[in-house]
Amino acid sequence: MKTIKLKNKQINYSILIGNGIYKSTGSILKKYLIKKRVFIICDLVVFNLYKKNLSTSLKRSRIEAIFIPIKVDERKKNIATVSTLSSKLLSFNIDRKDTIIAFGGGILGDIVGFTASIILRGVNYIQIPTTLLSQVDSSVGGKTGVNSSYGKNLIGTFYQPKLVIIDTDVLNSLPRRELLSGYAEIIKYGIIKDIKFFRWLLKNGYKVIEGNNNAKIYAIYRSCIIKAQIVEADEKEQGIRALLNLGHTFGHAIESLNEFKKNIIHGEAVAIGIRFATKLSYLEGYISNLDYNKIVSHFNDIGLKNTLPKNLNNISAKKFVSEMLKDKKAIDESLTLILIKRIGSAFIKKDYSQKKLLKLFKEITK
């Protein structure tokens, strides 16, 4: 099992990465719990697949487990779901010595983390992410939240978990499409911070998608190390943490304009967003033709296509850009974008003019 420590003045927790470790959740958890009672909030699919093993492990360690399965998707990632979940937890008389566990993908983790941060003004929580995307991104770093009709993730908190348990075993039941969606976030780390990792991905990325265990562990480990370093330096996204948003302002606009329909899932929208950001970086003269082609070819080779949903094919630049402006990062009508200088080095471009983006929109998105 590999361990990454996330530590600065305010934060101190571990990310454990291994194969089959969720089966030892009980013995792992013992030292993290104040009281031996946990509320396990999981999505229905995860509940049906893993409840038995998890319950057995917790029972062995004499930990009382209350499972709360909930149905989640991007459209249910809202304040109403948080309210229902909070009532459920309160109906069990949850107290501040209890621990909440988010056992599921990124949407579930964001909802549960947010609920944990506000219920009784904050109860300890642990993330056990079950999708590649949540393992390499959303379960680490303490961003929690839900969507609003005004945009994605606009209601939320920074609230760090006490522990993250990443088990590559649970990825075996994931459809290829979900793995690819998570892989988009993995490539992101190579592009923004680590050319060596990017080169490793060019050679070995397909093994991650094919389920090679060593490749999965390495890709997740490397991604989490990069994320941990960035979060340690800038937990509240006052500076470099914004690099992690490469492609996301474009991606969130795609998801919102598509009304969060399932023909495009989060990582797929991010993948398209990263392509748009790469193209914009090229058109602006920041990135070389060579690096541009390397990034785009890898997306193509791995199977992350550049296909906007049909209904967005002819979307006007104006509509798209005004959706981008709903992003949290937009300030006073100007955009903050993450652009790329070269593979392994991204930067924050503040005050990117709307007019320029409108002009280049056709070129970026073709």
Which residues are tagged catalytic?
121, 143, 185, 227, 237, 241, 245, 248, 252, 266
Nearest to 157 by CA among 103, 266, 236: 236
CA 207-211-214 angle, 5° bins? 70
Tokens of 248: 């996301």
**Binding positions for ligand GLY, 234-273, rule CB under 6 A:** 241, 244-245
Nearest distance, CB of residue 223 and ligand GLY, angstroms: 11
User: Given candidates 104, 109, 129, 141, which one binds ligand GLY under the rule CB under 6 A?
Assistant: 141
Nearest distance, CB of residue 301 and ligand GLY, angstroms: 24
User: Given candidates 43, 98, 110, 137, which one binds ligand GLY under the rule CB under 6 A?
Assistant: 137
Query: Per CB under 6 A, does 228 bind ligand GLY?
Result: no
Give the span between the Cα atoms of 27 and 151, in whole angstroms. 40
Nearest distance, CB of residue 355 and ligand GLY, angstroms: 28
Q: What binding mask, one character per residue, do residues 92-131 give for ligand GLY by CB under 6 A, x or -? A: ----------------------------------------
Give the span between the Cα atoms of 133 and 182, in whole angstroms. 4
Q: Is 124 helix (H, G, I), strand (E, B) or coil?
A: strand
Per rule CB under 6 A, count of chain residues that contact ligand GLY: 6
Point out which span in 15-23, 45-53, 137-145, 164-172 binds ligand GLY (CB under 6 A). 137-145
Give the span between the Cα atoms of 90 and 77, in whole angstroms. 20
Tokens of 115: 């609920």
Cβ–Cβ under 8 Å, residues 82 and 113 = no
Q: Which residue has its beta carbon closest to ligand GLY?
A: 244
Point out which span in 117-125, 136-144, 155-163, 315-323 binds ligand GLY (CB under 6 A). 136-144
Nearest distance, CB of residue 264 and ligand GLY, angstroms: 18
Q: Tell me whether residue 98 or residue 152 sits nearer to ligand GLY (CB atom).
A: 152
Q: What is the four-CA torsion angle of 111, 113, 115, 117, rounded to 10 degrees?
A: -150
Q: Tell me whether residue 20 or residue 239 sits nearer to ligand GLY (CB atom).
A: 239
Q: How many residues comprise the chain?
A: 366
Q: Are strands 163-167 and 12-18 parallel, antiparallel or unpaired?
A: parallel
Nearest to 228 by CA among 2, 1, 38, 31: 2
User: Given candidates 77, 143, 152, 266, which one binds ligand GLY under the rule CB under 6 A?
Assistant: 143
Q: Tell me whether residue 81 or residue 245 sits nearer to ligand GLY (CB atom).
A: 245
> How many Å separate Cα 217 from the centre of its chain?
17
Q: Tell me whether residue 65 or residue 335 sits nearer to ligand GLY (CB atom).
A: 335
Nearest distance, CB of residue 326 and ligand GLY, angstroms: 17
Nearest to 357 by CA among 327, 345, 346, 151: 327
Give the span between the Cα atoms of 222 and 341, in whole angstroms. 21
Nearest distance, CB of residue 330 and ligand GLY, angstroms: 16
* Contacting positions for ligand GLY (CB under 6 A): 137, 141, 143, 241, 244-245
